Amino acid sequence: MSSKKTKRRPKAVALLSGGLDSTLALRMMKDQGVEVHAVNFYTGFCVVESKRGQGRKNSKGEPYRNEALRAAADVGVEVELVDISKEYMDMVVSPRFGYGANANPCIDCRIFMLKKAREIMEEVEADFIVTGEVLGQRPMSQRRHPMQVIERASGLEGKIVRPLTARSCAPSDAEKEALLDREKLGKITGRSRKPQMQLARELGIEDYPSPAGGCCYLADESYARKFYDYLDHLDERHLTARDAIVLATGRHFRIGNRTKVIVGRDEEENRVLETHIGSETRLFARDFRGPLTLLQGETNEGNLRIAASLAARYGDGKRESQVRIGLETADSERTLTIAPCFDEDLDRWRI
Ligand code: SF4
């Protein structure tokens, strides 16, 4: 009889966005024989997922694809899609550790996702969590100290394996217990994506989204302006999934403390706004092609005239002296004839 002990097959929960880093991490774990339960979290701020949900097309006119599903299929594992958007909204409006350069609460976001992953880890009786993080890649959440804070706050000390960067960090429990071969883990650090692209070539991974592409609206400068403007004009900081989508759609103009105008930029945005109308007044040009425009907030005559002048300015009748604009609420409809607004006004109101 052999005296050699059979090594137990480790099991892990892997956070999979479908980007290159998390795909590589997943593949490295599979190559070490780990049984992987991949999860993809939908937060309501994922750029691709929002656009997919709205049926938008990419620059090549193709529907956006779910990168996590595609990546999991490529690596040969199943992925669980988990919608965490409702609770995530509450975290986003008051993050304990604050925001990064834009509206990105990266530290709280990682803690939130890892706590969710921990619940799944306990449920499926996995040994550890796998992420595609790289030490030094992101200024807010992927430096050594914040990574330790995140690990502690999520109750996962020693339980997070970061295959791409593991040898640049302290060994995880899985490495200490020899469930994983540390020598086969990576030691990538820093912001350059070249090492990941080289590793992808070595592993034969060819199909992945642009490594530098932004994935989260919250990290986008223009989105952040609208996000803070919106929250700053509320009595109580609160955000819904609908608010998050509307903030990502159209040109936004603040015309009063309680009033905003949103103008669709193209047909797809008009459709997105149309399907997300709440209590807003709907404005549209009667005689020309033009954007769907929403007036959000106080609907007094002055505000309606400003919103109508914006609707006129962005339509095909923008060079006319007067344009007829339809105004619709849930229970009323009328027409206002108005001159398109001046460019100086656009700059004054634009968020
Ligand atoms: S960029 Fe967005 S998704 Fe990524 S950690 Fe920051 S808040 Fe979370």
- Give yes or no: residues 103 and 36 share one domain: yes
- Tell me the CA–centroid distance for residue 2 and ligand 1, in Å: 50
Structure tokens at 219: 């990290």
pLDDT at 173: 98
pLDDT at 192: 94
- Tell me the CA–centroid distance for residue 143 and ligand 1, in Å: 14
Residue 214: count other Cβ atoms within 10 Å of its Cβ. Answer: 13
Mean pLDDT of 82-107: 96
- Give yes or no: residues 278 and 148 share one domain: no
pLDDT at 298: 93
pLDDT at 51: 78
- Tell me the CA–centroid distance for residue 104 and ligand 1, in Å: 6
Alpha carbon nearest to ligand 1 atom 5, residue: 106
Question: In this structure, are residues 104 and 216 in contact, taking their beta carbons and an 8 Å threshold?
Answer: yes
- The amino acid occupying position 252 is H
Q: Is the CB of 91 under 6 A from ligand 1?
A: no
Where would I find the beta strands (DSSP E) of 23-178? 35-42, 79-83, 128-130, 160-161
- Give yes or no: residues 56 and 125 share one domain: yes
Q: Is the CB of 219 under 6 A from ligand 1?
A: yes
Asked whether residue 216 is assigned to any structural domain, the reply reads no
CA 326 to chain centre: 34
Q: Which of 143, 174, 203 is the last residue of a domain?
A: 203
- Give yes or no: residues 81 and 172 share one domain: yes
Residue the block writes with tokens 């609206």: 217
Alpha carbon nearest to ligand 1 atom 2, residue: 216
3-class SS at 208?
coil
Q: Which of 145, 168, 203 is the last residue of a domain?
A: 203
- Give yes or no: residues 32 and 173 share one domain: yes
Mean pLDDT of 192-206: 95
- Give yes or no: residues 142 and 83 share one domain: yes
- The amino acid occupying position 181 is D
Mean pLDDT of 62-73: 90
Asked whether residue 324 is assigned to any structural domain, the reply reads yes
User: DSSP letters along 243-295, please?
Assistant: HHHHHTSSEEEEEETTEEEEE-SSHHHHHHHHHT-SSPEEEEESSS----EEE
Asked whether residue 243 is assigned to any structural domain, the reply reads no
- Tell me the CA–centroid distance for residue 66 and ligand 1, in Å: 18
Q: Is the CB of 110 under 6 A from ligand 1?
A: yes
- Tell me the CA–centroid distance for residue 10 and ligand 1, in Å: 28
CA distance 323 to 338: 5
- Give yes or no: residues 42 and 102 share one domain: yes
pLDDT at 3: 46
Query: What is the domain count for the chain?
Result: 2
Residue 121 pLDDT > 90: yes
Residue 198: count other Cβ atoms within 10 Å of its Cβ. Answer: 11
Angle, vertex CA 234, rays to CA 269 and CA 110, nearest 5: 75
- Give yes or no: residues 30 and 119 share one domain: yes
pLDDT at 5: 58
Residue 274 pLDDT > 90: yes
- Give yes or no: residues 41 and 179 share one domain: yes
H-state helical runs in 124-156: 144-153
pLDDT at 137: 92
- Give yes or no: residues 288 and 181 share one domain: no
Asked whether residue 296 is assigned to any structural domain, the reply reads yes
Q: Which domain holds residue 39?
A: 11-203
Structure tokens at 2: 């052999």
Q: Is the CB of 46 under 6 A from ligand 1?
A: no
Q: Which atom of ligand 1 is nearest to the CA of 43?
A: 3
Q: Is the CB of 104 under 6 A from ligand 1?
A: yes
Residue 65 pLDDT > 60: yes
Tell me which residue of 16, 276, 287, 8 sits closest to 130, measured CA to CA: 16
Structure tokens at 165: 């960067």
Residue 239: count other Cβ atoms within 10 Å of its Cβ. Answer: 18
- Give yes or no: residues 189 and 319 share one domain: no
Mean pLDDT of 283-310: 97
Residue the block writes with tokens 């900081």: 237
Q: What is the CATH number of the domain that holds 29?
A: 3.40.50.620
Q: What is the pLDDT of residues 146-184, one digit of tens each?
A: 999 999 999 999 999 999 999 999 999 999 999 999 999
